[in-house]
Amino acid sequence: MKIVIGLGNPGTKYTKTRHNIGFMVIDKFLKDCKVSFTKKYRDSIVNKCLIEGEEILFVKPQLFMNLSGIPTKRIAEKNNCNLNEILIVLDDINLPLGKVRIREKGSSGGHNGLKSISDHLKTTDFPKLRIGIGNVSSEDTKDFVLSRFTREEKNVIEDALDKACNAIRYWITTDINNCMSMIN
């Protein structure tokens, strides 16, 4: 079974913030499939969805971003899956606003949620779908990632959400190399 894990922070205070774009992508994907999150597994909200005959588990960890490794490891162990069958969806401050990039493996790039996952899984060798959230200029990075998108940025982000959902579908239905060719 493939698993798609969207990163974000729990609670309404963080809804639609830059750091929660992983949650936004998962929500949009499942909304398009006419499925919503309704189940809880320990410290995550989960739902299964059938995509072209394959059961896919969608996960939104409910610990704060910097602790994302704990629920990710629990989900991976519970489902006894290979790490190449887990796709982490996250924000990236180093990518231009709206840019979508998928990689088979790679470092955390300074993202604390991804660092937590790598630390708990003891590897960086798992697929990552990164969505550019813009870059902080003079603002504190923490304040920037916890801010909401401006009106001007919302159209770009809506397009990025669509592209990210397409990337997830390609990742599910093809291999990672084809997915990278189609998206990057």
For the stretch 75-123, pLDDT in tens is 999 999 899 999 999 999 999 999 999 999 988 888 999 999 999 999 9
Over range 134-142, report the average pLDDT: 76
Whether residue 66 is annotated as binding a ligand: the answer is yes
CATH of the domain at 154: 3.40.50.1470
Number of structural domains the chain divides into: 1
Whether residue 170 is annotated as binding a ligand: the answer is no
Catalytic residue IDs: 19
Q: What is the pLDDT of residue 37?
A: 66
Whether residue 112 is annotated as binding a ligand: the answer is yes
Would you say 131 and 90 are in contact if contact means Cβ atoms under 8 Å apart? yes
Whether residue 126 is annotated as binding a ligand: the answer is no
Would you say 7 and 68 are in contact if contact means Cβ atoms under 8 Å apart? yes
Over range 44-71, report the average pLDDT: 93
Over range 43-63, report the average pLDDT: 92
Integer Cα distance of 162 and 146 in angstroms? 22
pLDDT band at 151 (very low <50, low <70, confident <90, very high): very high
Over range 22-44, report the average pLDDT: 87
Q: Which residues of 77-114 are buried (b: 16+ CB within 10 A; e: fewer)?
A: eeeeeeeebbbbbbbbbebebbbbbbbeeeebeebbbb
Mean pLDDT taken over the chain:
92
Residue span of the structural domain in which 40 resides: 2-183
pLDDT of 171 strictly over 90: yes
